[in-house]
Amino acid sequence: MRIKQVSCRNFKSFSDLTVDLDEYNILIGTNAAGKTNFIRIFRFFRDIARHGLGNAISLQGGAEYIRNIRISSDVPTEIGIIFENELGVFSGVRDTRGGSHTLSFHQIEYRFSLQIEEGGYRILEDFLRISCSCTPDLGEGESGQGELRITHTEDGVFYELSTPEGIAIEITEIIPPYLQKNVPRSGTLLIENPLLVPMPGFQRFFAEIAIYDFDPRTPRKAIPLSGRSDLEEDGSNLAIVLKGILADPEKKRRLSNLMTELLPFVQDIDVRKFMDSSIYFTVTERYGDEHPLPSSVISDGTVNVINLICALYFDEKPFIVIEEPEKNVHPYLIARVVSMFGDAARNKQILITTHNPGVVRHADIEDILLISRDSAGYSIITKPARREEVRTFLKNEVGIEELYIQNLLGL
Amino acid sequence: MNRLFVFCEGPDDIRFFEGVLKSELREGYASVELIAYAGMKHIRVDGFIRGIGAMGDDYLMVADIDSDRTVKAKKNRLKRWYRELDTDKVIIVIKEIEGWYLAGLNDHASRSLGLRPLPGTDRITKERFNRMIPDHYVSRIDLMIEIIKRYSIKVAREKNRSFRFFYWKCLE
């Protein structure tokens, strides 16, 4: 799964935004430009899938903080996302003449809009479009494009299937009648109701969005043995994550190599139990006479780098956001950290936010997204690589980091 | 005893020199220091070269041949960028550093990593290297580090002509 595009209207500091994402994206911008609000779009989707719309709105601070207060209250808040890649296959789908077809789903477009009202909200639109290719199973005829549209209104959920010319497929071939009669609970969205969407894992696409903002202090503490095995947003359960990695020889070998890349003085990493109730990790340094140092005395930079490696290489999530991943990292290592982002992006989609000119310097300009405020004060996102003025400066050996420091990337 | 500064293009070159060549180059020098120059302004690279000369130290600049057809053409291009550069101190990697990585693997080492043994690596580019990465490696950096662990300079001299030249010039 890959997020191809996100869009929103009247959400937080955005008036009208559409952004295309690549495998690897670096979001930069001045303070209060709207970086955190952009991340909140992903957080909102994730929270809806995990906890429901009501809770997701509450986690954003309440309905009144969802919309932009400068925009008229009768303008709805709309949020959309497009996924692409191989998303699932339906085999043996019968057409009305008895022919058999395979539907391969390759793109999902999902959007919903809310009317924010005094003390609450109302769902105005809840729409899903799943694009597919339709291929005859016996090799007779050519493949064509089709799409399944699912519209959720106050009156229920409606399904509509478009197929290539000359092929007619009843919707019941894909959605059994008993599921078509399902009515979602009032005030909920399609992504909260997996039975309404004929695509296994549809809800998971959203629920698995991972957002990290590592705090180097929390992972240092010994934590209870029982806890989540995937990395927490602040990295606080790092000891448990490391325990899982170190138990697998292949993962342990990989961790050791990647640690060497950024922390060459670290010889070994281990986890230890304390009183059979809690767990912490230790690091043995090359110059430490084989004496393991407990996590409580390890530097912020080391803790941050270990968290970063775990998120980039050992987290199974297909889309991760990491806020300011270069925190406490020495400038000499920044080039290696940036190289790791590109490396890890071979297997997952990555969005990085940063203020660090060093990250910008070592990044490919094509990977950079610049967030800024327009003349009306709304947040906008642009690609500096597409700006002629920026290209001209780069040709004349003005470094990209220099343009960033001078706040000229948005020219 | 003076120092040797090696200008490397980026993290992949730095990793290679750190893991394979630094200890070999160390002979005859007090230390070997690596400088990543990709993305650095030309004037700043010139400043480093002047400083190194003023301290009486030595340097090498390592560069991929990229799109240039000959070593001479690449050296001329570098000279246009870096006015202080002595082109005799330039080592051209053909085609890219990934070729030097793969050159050091004998057949057994290649197979142990899941790579097809190659008789020569003069035509290896970054893209071709990336296509060769076995599925069980989720990280090319991880694979590169495993290659370094199995690296044989003797084998590399046989499999890559630009590495052989580098060896003859700097290590023999």
B21 and B37, same domain (yes or no): yes
Is A256 part of any domain?
yes
B89 and B101, same domain (yes or no): no
Tell which of A183, A207, A231 closes a domain. Answer: A207
Answer whether B15 sits within 8 Å of A258, measured CB to CB. Answer: no
B84 and B105, same domain (yes or no): no
Is A39 part of any domain?
yes
| Averaged pLDDT of chain A | 90
Name the minimum distance, in Å, from the CA of B140 to any CA of chain A.
6
Is B172 part of any domain?
no
Q: Which domain holds residue A53?
A: 2-17+34-207
Interface test with A, best of B41, B113, B141, B143 (most A CBs within 10 A): B141
Is the pLDDT assigned to residue A138 strictly greater than 80? Answer: no
A100 and A150, same domain (yes or no): yes
pLDDT tens per residue across span A56-107: 999 998 888 899 989 988 999 999 999 987 778 888 888 888 888 888 889 9
Strand, coil or helix: B1: coil
Between positions 82 and 121 of B, the ones with CB within 8 A of A are none
Tell which of A186, A207, A228 closes a domain. Answer: A207
A11 and A131, same domain (yes or no): yes
Interface of A with B (CB under 8 A): 250, 254, 257-258, 260-261, 313, 335-336, 339-340, 343-344, 346-347, 361-362, 397, 399
Is A154 part of any domain?
yes
Is A410 part of any domain?
no
In this predicted complex, what is the ipTM? Answer: 0.90
Tell which of A188, A207, A226 closes a domain. Answer: A207
B145 contact A CB<8A: yes
User: Given this model, what pLDDT does residue B23 score?
Assistant: 93
Cross-strand pairs, A90: A103
Is B114 part of any domain?
yes
The number of folded domains in chain A is: 2
A219 and A203, same domain (yes or no): no
Is B171 part of any domain?
no
- What percent of chain A stands above pLDDT 70? 99
B13 and B26, same domain (yes or no): yes
Find chain B residues with C-beta within 8 A of A339's C-beta.
10-12, 141
* Per-residue exposure over A93-118, b if at least 16 CB sit within 10 Å of its own CB, e if not: bebeeebebbbbbeebbbbbbbbbee
Is the pLDDT assigned to residue A49 strictly greater than 80? Answer: yes
B37 and B115, same domain (yes or no): no
- The residue in chain A having the minimum alpha-carbon distance to the alpha carbon of residue B42 is A397
Higher-pLDDT residue of B12, A196: B12
Find chain B residues with C-beta within 8 A of A262's C-beta.
none
The number of folded domains in chain B is: 2
B76 and B101, same domain (yes or no): no
User: Given this model, what pLDDT does residue A13 score?
Assistant: 96
Rounded Cα gap, residues B94 and B122, in angstroms: 6
Please say whether the beta carbons of B102 and B124 come within 8 A. Answer: yes
Find chain B residues with C-beta within 8 A of A362's C-beta.
39
Mention every residue, 6+ apart, whose C-beta is less than 8 A from residue A95.
A101, A163, A167, A168, A169
- Identity of the residue in B14, B43, B146 whose CB atom sits nearest the CB atom of A257: B146
B84 and B58, same domain (yes or no): yes
Is A180 part of any domain?
yes
Answer whether A260 sits within 8 Å of B145, measured CB to CB. Answer: yes
Name the minimum distance, in Å, from the CA of B73 to any CA of chain A.
21
Answer whether B139 sits within 8 Å of A335, measured CB to CB. Answer: no
Name the minimum distance, in Å, from the CA of B163 to any CA of chain A.
23
B77 and B10, same domain (yes or no): yes
Is the pLDDT assigned to residue A410 strictly greater than 80? Answer: no
- The residue in chain B having the minimum alpha-carbon distance to the alpha carbon of residue A397 is B41
B7 and B82, same domain (yes or no): yes
Mention every residue, 6+ apart, whose C-beta is less than 8 A from residue A380.
A14, A17, A371, A372, A373, A374
- Identity of the residue in B39, B41, B139 whose CB atom sits nearest the CB atom of A254: B139
Tell which of B40, B70, B93 closes a domain. Answer: B93
Q: Provide, for chain B, the percentages of residues in helix, strand and coil under a 3-state DSSP scheme, each rounded to the nearest 5.
A: 50, 10, 35
Please say whether the beta carbons of A208 and A313 come within 8 A. Answer: no
Answer whether A261 sits within 8 Å of B140, measured CB to CB. Answer: no
pLDDT tens per residue across span A263-290: 988 999 999 988 878 999 999 988 767 7
Q: Which domain holds residue B154?
A: 96-161
B128 and B141, same domain (yes or no): yes
Please say whether the beta carbons of A14 and A381 come within 8 A. Answer: no
B46 and B107, same domain (yes or no): no
- What value does the mean pLDDT take over residues B29-48? 92
B71 and B18, same domain (yes or no): yes
